[in-house]
Amino acid sequence: MTLHLDLLRHGETELGGGLRGSLDDALTATGWAQMRAAVEPGGPWDRLISSPLQRCALFAEELAERMALPLALDEGLQELHFGDWEGRSAADLMLTDERGLGLFWADPYSFTPPRGEPVAEFSERVLAAVERLRQAHAGERILLISHGGVMRLLLARARGLPREQLLQVEVGHGSLFHLGVDEHGRLSERR
């Protein structure tokens, strides 16, 4: 039986762009509006699953209460930890670590930001979380509220992209995508 996953990226955060990673930024009023607009025509969902970081979890709590749906927080769905790069913009990193940033953008699996989480480990963590959901909730439709990196990873796999193209997947704030996870754990994108 297929698990239907609707993926929602958090909205704009108070501290703005850059590599937010495990930083626990709050949403702006615009960020809240982006997420509310994204789910307006959506559903119906059987449950909500969210990253525990507040830019995801606070919206998930509001939506779960409004729709009377069960909600679970899953640490496996947190964003990639960028180590020393957390909170920094690409423009700033171009001034201080141009080589590292170039290597990361070229193939994020082959270069890890200083003291950061390797993308291979991030991938294992996220895919293990999705597999747990598939095993527990096959046949259901779930709204998964998470981060750009998590969504890029899942969309790249569903699209069959080579790992070097992970960061080329576009995922804007408040974006909503639809995936299926079949009985073998294979991901496919739905329209």
pLDDT for the residue 68: 96
pLDDT for the residue 43: 86
Integer Cα distance of 21 and 85 in angstroms: 9
User: Is residue 101 domain-resident?
Assistant: no
Integer Cα distance of 128 and 118 in angstroms: 16
Contacts of 34 (CB under 8 A, 6+ apart): 11, 12, 173, 174
Using 50, 70 and 90 to split pLDDT, how confident is the model at 166?
very high
pLDDT for the residue 16: 75
User: Is residue 60 domain-resident?
Assistant: yes
User: Is residue 26 domain-resident?
Assistant: yes
User: Is residue 93 domain-resident?
Assistant: no
Using 50, 70 and 90 to split pLDDT, how confident is the model at 18?
confident
Using 50, 70 and 90 to split pLDDT, how confident is the model at 2?
very high
Q: How many domains does the chain have?
A: 1
Can you give the residue range of the structural domain that contains 58?
A: 3-82+119-190
User: Is residue 56 domain-resident?
Assistant: yes
Q: Which CATH number belongs to the domain containing residue 20 in this structure?
A: 3.40.50.1240
User: Is residue 134 domain-resident?
Assistant: yes
pLDDT for the residue 14: 92
CB 145 within 8 A of CB 49: yes
Average pLDDT, the chain: 96
Average pLDDT of the residues in 67-71 = 97
User: Is residue 35 domain-resident?
Assistant: yes
pLDDT tens by residue, 84-141:
999 999 999 999 999 999 999 999 999 999 999 999 999 999 999 999 999 999 999 9
